[in-house]
A and B are shown apart, each in its own frame.
Chain A
Amino acid sequence: KAGVTQTPRYLIKTRGQQVTLSCSPISGHRSVSWYQQTPGQGLQFLFEYFSETQRNKGNFPGRFSGRQFSNSRSEMNVSTLELGDSALYLCASSLAAGTDTQYFGPGTRLTVL
């Protein structure tokens, strides 16, 4: 069974631009979560989706948004990019929301210049 895939793997943007990251979960998984990983802040939870509904949201500004489609694929969008948004963005999928094990994709490395 294929794992979680994320596209693109690397992205370079400039301040003020917006970006969309994509995540395809493991087949059959209906829950997708997004995390931001930086050397200073570690792994921080962004949001969790289950059956196209946002179930949880982390403490990030409104510039960070996401959505999930009927096929469980998910996208996250960051508008008006700031230098501090440079990070590894990780997507994780699980069978259901709640306590199921999350399986992570390889991440998208976003660099904001």
Chain B
Amino acid sequence: AQSVAQPEDQVNVAEGNPLTVKCTYSVSGNPYLFWYVQYPNRGLQFLLKYITGDNLVKGSYGFEAEFNKSQTSFHLKKPSALVSDSALYFCAVRDINYGQNFVFGPGTRLSVLP
């Protein structure tokens, strides 16, 4: 079975400071990992994904994430937070063995304070 944990319900950070949103996963095979962001009354927007290769993945809006196989983590980071980054962030995993559906974490609400 596959699962995703986002240990923080809420992350607060001051504008201009670096931000980290944490994600850990569990799969039986090799993972495909994704980050999505959701703004109020909107669907999810794709930020970035890890399939294979370089452990540091760069995505949209200045976000990046680092895949750490030994710690089974895929934390989302941004060097300098903007107030407009305030939203709900979801980590998702899909086992590399096709046939498994996407599993989403519970979400982390990011608030960037001016």
Give the interface of A toward B (CB within 8 A): 4, 33, 35, 42-43, 45, 48, 55-56, 58, 90, 92, 97-99, 101-107
Q: From residue 44 to 94 of chain B, which have CB atoms closer than 8 A to chain A?
A: 44-46, 49, 51, 90, 94
- Residues of B near A105 (CB, < 8 A) are 43
* A4 nearest in chain B by CB position: B43
* A43 nearest in chain B by CB position: B104
Total chain B interface residues with beta-carbon distance under 8 A: 24
Whether the Cβ atoms of A98 and B107 lie closer than 8 Å is no
15 contacts between A and B (CB under 8 A): A4-B43, A42-B105, A42-B106, A42-B107, A56-B101, A90-B43, A90-B44, A98-B98, A99-B96, A99-B98, A102-B34, A102-B46, A104-B46, A106-B42, A107-B42
Give the interface of B toward A (CB within 8 A): 32, 34, 36, 41-46, 49, 51, 90, 94, 96, 98-107
With A and B bound together, what is the CA distance between A7 and B12 in angstroms?
Answer: 35
With A and B bound together, what is the CA distance between A104 and B44 in angstroms?
Answer: 6
Within 8 Å by CB of A42, from B46, B96, B99, B104, lies B104
Whether the Cβ atoms of B101 and A101 lie closer than 8 Å is no
Q: Which 9 A-B pairs have the closest CB atoms?
A: A104-B43, A43-B104, A104-B44, A56-B101, A99-B32, A45-B101, A106-B43, A42-B106, A98-B98
Whether the Cβ atoms of A33 and B43 lie closer than 8 Å is no
Using known A-B contacts A90-B44, A104-B44, A106-B43, determine if residue A45 contacts B103 with beta carbons closer than 8 Å. Answer: yes
Within 8 Å by CB of A33, from B32, B45, B102, lies B102
- Residues of A near B102 (CB, < 8 A) are 33, 45, 102
